[in-house]
Copies of this chain bind each other. A is one copy, B any other.
Amino acid sequence: MALINAKSQAARATAMPGALHHLKATPETVHWGYFSPDIKPVLHVKSGDLIHGEAITHHAGDDPELMFDENIKRIFTEIDPTTRAPGCHIMTGPIYIEDAEPGDMLEVRYFEMKPRHNYGSNLQANWGHLYKEFDETERVTIYKLDPNAMTASALYAYDVEGVYTTPGRITHCPTCDRSEALPGITIPARPHLGTAGVAPAVNEPVSTIPPGLHGGNIDNWRIGAGAKMYYPVQVKGGLFSIGDPHVSQGDGEISGTAIESSLDVLFQIILRKDFAFPSPLLETPDYWIVHGFGEDLDAAMKGASLDMMHLLTEHQGLSRHDSYSLMSVASDFGVTQVVDGTQGIHCRIERRIFPEKGTFTDPE
């Protein structure tokens, strides 16, 4: 793979905003629980087009009075629960990108992530990291967002009977015992997409739960407004979908969920045929971040190490030894999540430490 040093006219033209599309989330435009190359696209776009899309949380049923509206209610009631499988996330899409072919990269520029309602739900789930330490009980905490301060605070909490199995469970607590939760504590809001990605090249529905090379349920809270993600295209047309919106999450996501809350997302898709990367790559204003996945944190750590090595050698032109030294003294590894089956470690390095050589992955 070549170094990305040149600002070509073609690349500049590619990144110009094209048409603007609106993609509402309805029972007709979402797929629930799976990625698949066989889903009929709900939108066709050209490289450079902008999309204003709706991402719907599958936890809206934790307080439907606060997190349902007409279209969300339709999604929860009209989609057969037995078809919400093998994963759990409501995905809006897929979007077919003209000329996208396997081996290309989709550059997705996330411009805005606006909460649809100012409420969200955190579930202490049966797949949470400390579930056994809590006598195997599930509990919901409802948070209220302050969209002006961009902070969140807990509104109330309640215990849930039984365990979460069918996606889209409705467990609201209008008359039950609501408990006060986290009095006086206010946390920063970090709106982002927990799950977004292209269709994997697999001839059967693939669960939305484990993240992978197609992206999917990466659960990195840095995938928010101002960030760019680069997804390796797996099938013709790319077939990109968004879902699993969060307004806050910590690295680790240890209770099993974030503050799950529907978001309206403005983003641009740019088809990149001029570079490649083996796994989903994140670019924020300050960092490049690679994602390693594995059946445990040790395997994910190895994956993230090798992919950061790849970034430094293939895209910054460093020797392998130089890359290794630099990673040890200037890159930071973090736990992305430990609750999605496949576990995640990400590795970030500051962009400002590199000498100017074009703009790496930016065609403009």
**CB within 8 Å of B: which residues of A?**
122, 124, 128-130, 133-134, 139, 141, 143, 152, 154, 157, 181-188, 248-259, 296-298, 301-302, 305-306, 309, 318, 320-322, 324-335, 338, 345, 347, 350, 353-355
- Among A152, A251, A309, which residue has the most Cβ atoms of chain B within 10 A? A251
Instruction: Give the chain B neighbours of A330 by CB distance below 8 A.
Output: 187-188, 248, 250
In the complex the two chains form, is A250's CB within 8 Å of B355's CB? no
In the complex the two chains form, is A129's CB within 8 Å of B302's CB? yes
A318–B141 Cα gap in the complex (Å)? 14
In the complex the two chains form, is A129's CB within 8 Å of B250's CB? no
In the complex the two chains form, is B305's CB within 8 Å of A251's CB? no
In the complex the two chains form, is A329's CB within 8 Å of B296's CB? no
A87–B43 Cα gap in the complex (Å)? 61
What is the distance, in angstroms, from A263's C-beta to the closest C-beta of chain B? 15
In the complex the two chains form, is A325's CB within 8 Å of B255's CB? yes
Q: Which of B257, B296, B301 contacts A335 (CB 8 A)?
A: B301
In the complex the two chains form, is B305's CB within 8 Å of A130's CB? yes
In the complex the two chains form, is A333's CB within 8 Å of B181's CB? no
Instruction: Give the chain B neighbours of A252 by CB distance below 8 A.
Output: 301, 305, 327-328, 331-333, 347
- Known contacts A330-B187, A335-B333: does B251 contact A325 (CB below 8 Å)? no
In the complex the two chains form, is A322's CB within 8 Å of B154's CB? yes
- Known contacts A249-B329, A255-B324: does B297 contact A298 (CB below 8 Å)? yes
Task: Given contacts A130-B305, A157-B325, list 18 more A-B pairs with CB under 8 A.
Answer: A124-B328, A130-B306, A130-B324, A152-B329, A182-B318, A182-B325, A183-B355, A184-B355, A185-B353, A188-B353, A249-B328, A250-B333, A251-B331, A251-B332, A252-B332, A254-B327, A255-B325, A334-B335
In the complex the two chains form, is B187's CB within 8 Å of A322's CB? no
- Known contacts A305-B129, A321-B134, A334-B334: does B187 contact A253 (CB below 8 Å)? no
Q: Which of B258, B259, B301, B321 contacts A297 (CB 8 A)?
A: B301
In the complex the two chains form, is A122's CB within 8 Å of B154's CB? no
Chain B residue nearest to A357 (CB atoms) is B184
Q: Which of B187, B322, B333, B338 contacts A301 (CB 8 A)?
A: B338
A254–B251 Cα gap in the complex (Å)? 20
In the complex the two chains form, is A134's CB within 8 Å of B329's CB? no
What is the distance, in angstroms, from A290's C-beta to the closest C-beta of chain B? 12
In the complex the two chains form, is B328's CB within 8 Å of A258's CB? yes
What is the distance, in angstroms, from A313's C-beta to the closest C-beta of chain B? 12
21 A-B Cβ contacts within 8 A? A130-B309, A133-B306, A134-B321, A139-B321, A141-B322, A152-B329, A157-B321, A181-B321, A181-B322, A185-B326, A187-B326, A187-B353, A188-B353, A249-B329, A250-B328, A250-B331, A254-B305, A254-B328, A255-B324, A256-B328, A332-B334
A133–B306 Cα gap in the complex (Å)? 9
Chain B residue nearest to A318 (CB atoms) is B182
What is the distance, in angstroms, from A244's C-beta to the closest C-beta of chain B? 14
- Known contacts A252-B331, A332-B334, A347-B252: does B141 contact A325 (CB below 8 Å)? yes
